[in-house]
Amino acid sequence: MARYNPIISIVIPVFHEEKTIIELLRQITDKVKNSYEVFIIYDQTNDPTVSVVKKYLISSKSKNILLAKNSTGNGRGVTNAIKTGFFKARGKAVVAVMADLSDDLSDIDKMYKKISQGYDIICGSRYMKGGKKIGGPMLKTFLSKTAGLTLHYLFKLPTHDATNAFKMYRKTLLEKIQIESTGGFEYSLEITLKAFKKGYKIGEIPTVWYDRPAGKSNFKLLRWLPKYLKAYSIVLPLSRFGYWRTQASKNISIPEHMIFMSFALITSSLIYSFILMIFNFKFKIPATSAINWLTEYNYPKQQDYYFLYTFLMFNFIVSLIFWSIWTLLKLKKR
């Protein structure tokens, strides 16, 4: 039998997505017109998603939908699942799609059109003109939007939404860039920044992101956030921010830095406290419940730990933003 050579490979990491996976496969069939193959990557054979997909394959007689066990590293986690799918992909272009129905699959053909025009990565952008994000935790939205827009305007990255995992990659690019990420969805940010550093052509199209209609999110915001921050080090030397940092060390004294950072930390702490006070007094929501809602977490036995963690991470990010603005203003005056 002749080998099937699809134009697009669609990689779907799954973990207990039995409630949404069939609808996702139906949407792919309806909305993707180019030839494609689908790799559904699972960690464990007892994942109920596997049995649901097997039944669907028997009834639909689909030949281009393939189940594959996560075989990278320890065989667990979204990054290893994505790496497994990227390795197995046979298409000219590879796109990662989430099984929670959050991505607009009608954009896949639009992405491939841009790839065929010479682009190496096409990012689905929620934050460019025409893009939109519907639902999801406030804190996650704030952080992703802040990261996307700062990378675009400060680092000149040619996308407004670098953190969105809904991206299409040229297969030959994936063969040349080593993915070092071991945590979660930060792998897509890593690939994009490394490609940018190496001079590959990156583009974007507007997309609409929807919060999952069923099931529980597998996005571990607090655990993966430091890994996202680490990815920034890839582009710092290439950016104006790197230049500003160098100039700041030469023209602004250490005592000035210490005084302002102390002010920034106090201010960010007050902002954090004010947000929780609003939840408590206006909406009658306790502080720990507010944190659960903001971060999409629910760990009653570890409330103190996550309270402290969100407090520290919020202070770090807000203080860094304040410091960047202050440094720019100081340097412009000098």
pLDDT digits (tens, 9 = 90+) for 232-290: 555 555 445 554 555 555 566 667 766 766 777 777 777 766 766 666 665 555 555 55
pLDDT at 197: 87
Residue holding tokens 């959050």?
102
- CB contact set of 245 (below 8 Å; sequence gap of 6+): 236, 327
Q: Name the phi and psi angles at 216, rounded to 5.
A: -110, 140
Range name among 15-19, 77-81, 135-139, 313-317 with the lowest pLDDT average: 313-317
User: Does residue 7 have a pLDDT over 80?
Assistant: yes
What is the separation, in whole angstroms, between the first and last Cα of the chain? 72
User: Does residue 309 have a pLDDT over 70?
Assistant: no
- CB contact set of 168 (below 8 Å; sequence gap of 6+): 8, 93, 94, 95, 108, 111, 112, 114, 115, 121, 122
The token pair that represents 208 in the structure block:
């609409």
What CA–CA distance (Å, rounded) separates 153 from 148? 9
Over residues 199-234, the pLDDT tens digits come to 999 999 999 998 866 555 544 445 545 555 555 555
In the structure, what pLDDT confidence band is assigned to residue 324 with cuts at 50, 70 and 90?
A: low
Q: What is the pTM of this model?
A: 0.73
Look at the domain 8-232 and name its fold. Answer: Spore Coat Polysaccharide Biosynthesis Protein SpsA; Chain A (3.90.550)
pLDDT at 40: 97
User: Does residue 82 have a pLDDT over 80?
Assistant: yes
Domain map (residue ranges) of the chain: 8-232, 239-333
CB 79 within 8 A of CB 179: yes
Over residues 140-175, the pLDDT tens digits come to 677 778 778 878 887 788 999 988 999 999 999 999
CB 196 within 8 A of CB 119: no
pLDDT at 87: 96
pLDDT at 6: 92
Q: Are strands 8-14 and 93-96 parallel, antiparallel or unpaired?
A: parallel
What are the beta bridge partners of residue 12? Answer: 40
What CA–CA distance (Å, rounded) separates 33 from 65? 15
pLDDT at 146: 77
In the structure, what pLDDT confidence band is assigned to residue 176 with cuts at 50, 70 and 90?
A: very high
Residue holding tokens 């590959």?
200
| Long-range contacts from 185-188, C-beta under 8 angstroms, 24+ separation | 185/78, 185/79, 185/219, 185/224, 186/79, 186/224, 186/227, 186/228, 186/230, 186/231, 187/79, 187/82, 187/83, 188/96, 188/162, 188/163, 188/164
What CA–CA distance (Å, rounded) separates 184 from 325? 30
Comparison of pLDDT for 1 and 196, the residue scoring more: 196
- CB contact set of 40 (below 8 Å; sequence gap of 6+): 12, 14, 21, 49, 53, 65, 66, 67, 68, 99
Half-sphere exposure of residue 185, counting CA atoms within 13 Å on the CB side?
A: 21
CB 127 within 8 A of CB 148: yes
Comparison of pLDDT for 323 and 241, the residue scoring more: 323
